[in-house]
Amino acid sequence: MATLQTSDTRERILHATLRVIAEHGVGAVSNRRVAAEADVALGSLTYHFPSQTTLLRESLMLHVAEEVTRLEAVAASLRASKPTPADAAAEVERVVRASAGDLEPIAELELHLQAARDPELRDASRRCFEAYENFAAAALEALGVPDAARHAPSIVALMSGLALRRLGTGEREGTGTADALLTLIRGAGAA
């Protein structure tokens, strides 16, 4: 039972860290702020995470694990359903819209930036992008794009760019991704 409680406490702390990062940035992460956000004793936080570097690293690792699981499920569903091009583009937009109103994209961006400064985080960042690329490849396959895996990074760049635009402008809807994707595909002559 103690192991389960320890695991729950660690996960609460990590999710609280992600919320602090999303709301205030990496620079605002302090043991006191995260402990208050997680509703745990300060000693509990320092017991589980002896340094802020460890806390930031493990926060990114948790986010990546959850995001990879989510995106793998969506990619498998897309591949199994054989959607029309419009349906595949709409599914990409649905994935984008699912997090458009959340603070999670801000935390993810902050953590990818942190990976640029911390080489030990780069593998986790890479795994996250690979999950997005796998999802994008599934969408491109459904759209009938040849060599989908080669083009997937461009779709991830499109999704990331539009997400960055939404974050910077305060737009929360996440619409327009399907139209942008279909425009690119039609320009490539695939749909």
pLDDT tens, 21-54? 888 888 889 999 999 999 999 999 999 999 988 9
Using H for helix, E for strand and C for coil, what is the string for 52-81? HHHHHHHHHHHHHHHHHHHHHHHHHHHHHH
pLDDT for 100 equals: 55
Go through the chain and tell me how many residues it has.
191
Tally helices (H) and strands (E) across the chain: 9, 0
pLDDT score recorded for residue 3 = 52
Indicate the pLDDT class of residue 55, thresholds 50, 70 and 90: very high
pLDDT value of residue 179: 78
Q: Are 105 and 163 in contact (CB under 8 A)?
A: yes
Q: What is the pLDDT of residue 17?
A: 93
- Structural domain including 149 reads 56-188
Cβ neighbors of 141 (< 8 A, separation 6 or more) are 78, 79, 148
CATH, residue 136: 1.10.357.10
Kindly state whether residue 24 falls inside one of the protein's structural domains.
no
pLDDT confidence of residue 48: 94
Instruction: Please give the pLDDT value at position 27.
Output: 85
Q: For residue 26, is it within any domain?
A: no
Q: Give pLDDT tens digits for 76-111.
A: 888 888 788 778 878 877 877 776 556 677 878 887
In a domain, 140, yes or no: yes
Burial 142-153, CB ≥16 within 10 A → b, else e: bbebeebeebbb
The angle subtended at Cα 118 by Cα 62 and Cα 114, nearest 5°, is 65
Is 162 inside a domain boundary?
yes
In a domain, 2, yes or no: no
75 and 138 Cβ atoms separated by less than 8 Å: yes
DSSP category for residue 173: -
25 within domain boundaries: no
The 10s digit of each residue's pLDDT in 104-156 is: 778 788 878 888 988 888 888 888 899 889 988 988 888 778 888 998 998 88
Within 10 Å of residue 79's Cβ, how many Cβ atoms? 15
- Please indicate, yes or no, if residue 161 is contained in any of the structural domains: yes
How many domains does the structure of the chain reveal?
A: 1
